[in-house]
Structure 1
Amino acid sequence: MSGQPGAPIRVVIADDERLVRIGLRVVLDAEPDLSVVGEAADGAEVLPLVRAQRPDVVLMDVRMPQVDGIRATEQLLAELPEPPRVLVVTTFENDDYVYQALRAGAAGFLLKRARAEELVQAVRLVARGESLLFPAAIRELAAHRPPTRDPAADPVHRLTDREGQVLRLMAVGLSNGEIATELTVSPETIKTHVGSVLAKLGARDRTQAVIRAYESGFVVPG
């Protein structure tokens, strides 16, 4: 990780299509605060490349021939004490691969047809530790799956009533400030509640928390 104030955000691109990697690199390297420090043509190359280059963000394709982006994401989170943030870059938003990558710990996803400015902003967002959450897309993905967790045995039952309210509003896509307005409390209070929700659910970020809310049936799609 760069870890130094003012240092460029270090990015690794993992995609089996060379032209896609070139296009992403051109967009990112044109920004003074972003730097592409490596490319991987398959998920099998990601872990050793990340160990060598210590990027802040990995742009991860999900469909690669040997090791897909889901497994590569799992390896990063399991093997590294301080893994980079993973941003899935995909062709199809309503794709089971995307859902599985988010479950594995990706901070969000972006479509390959996204505009250059959307890509740049997404990288900056996840590098700051935030989640790129698309509530409608996650809701659509979750709608095709029955709950896979028993709420009675799931950590979601440990949430207080207020934390449950916060989680439901997170699932709608509200920011901390918007949740604070909705519940008539301070943003600092909501930040504390969000932290507690993540800790109780064992979620790395808001995206994982929302997915676990759907999987337990605590939040119902639609």
Structure 2
Amino acid sequence: PDPGVASGSVKIKDPAAVLNVGDIVQARILKISEPEEMQLTLALEQEPAVEGALLCMDVKTGAIKAMVGGKSFKKSEFNRATQSRRQPGSAFKPFIYTAAFDKGMTPSTIVIDSPVIFKDTLKDSLWKPQNYEEKFYGPTTLRTALVHSRNLVTIKTLKDIGIDYAADYAANMGIKSPLTRDLSMALGTSGTTLQEMVKGYSIFANQGKKA
């Protein structure tokens, strides 16, 4: 489940797999061959280099009040608020704790923040998760763990309540994207859309009620 090694990339060997005749793209020249060969090595460019999205929702009705899917709809019709899946990281942790509270734990429940090692059978390796500060804090309440975004307590809490239970609970809160069902889910390693995250968080803002 180690998120540091659980991802990968694949080189595209055939441009036809991602581009169609007539597509207009920006490219950067990486290498120019000898004149007699007349070959170029190119890399696709993204303009702008950084994109963003915004979604504003009425938490009581679920109505979308405002949405921005990117810098320019004319240049790209891809809606980053509803179509783009990105790892939410620690923003996913509240879903884990909400599921835990609904299963009988409380904000005062104490979990030991200590080193732990998991066997990653898919990668045939060991996963040694750490907190961001690379420190261990011993007995920690779930309230403190959530406030300070403690990775180890969140992972142990997910292990205690069950991965499938937490994934199904998140789906019930609006996270419909497929979640990788391993302990790295506690760290928000599965891609979700902004719309899903806003829908899930709207339940918190609406005192636990779904719009």
Structure richer in helix, relative to its length: 1
Structure richer in strand, relative to its length: 2
Instruction: Please give the TM-score of this superposition, normalised by the length of structure 2.
Output: 0.29
Which protein has the larger Cα radius of gyration, Structure 1 or Structure 2?
2
Q: Determine which structure has greater relative contact order: mean sequence separation of CA pairs < 8 Å that are 6+ residues apart, divided by chain length.
A: 2
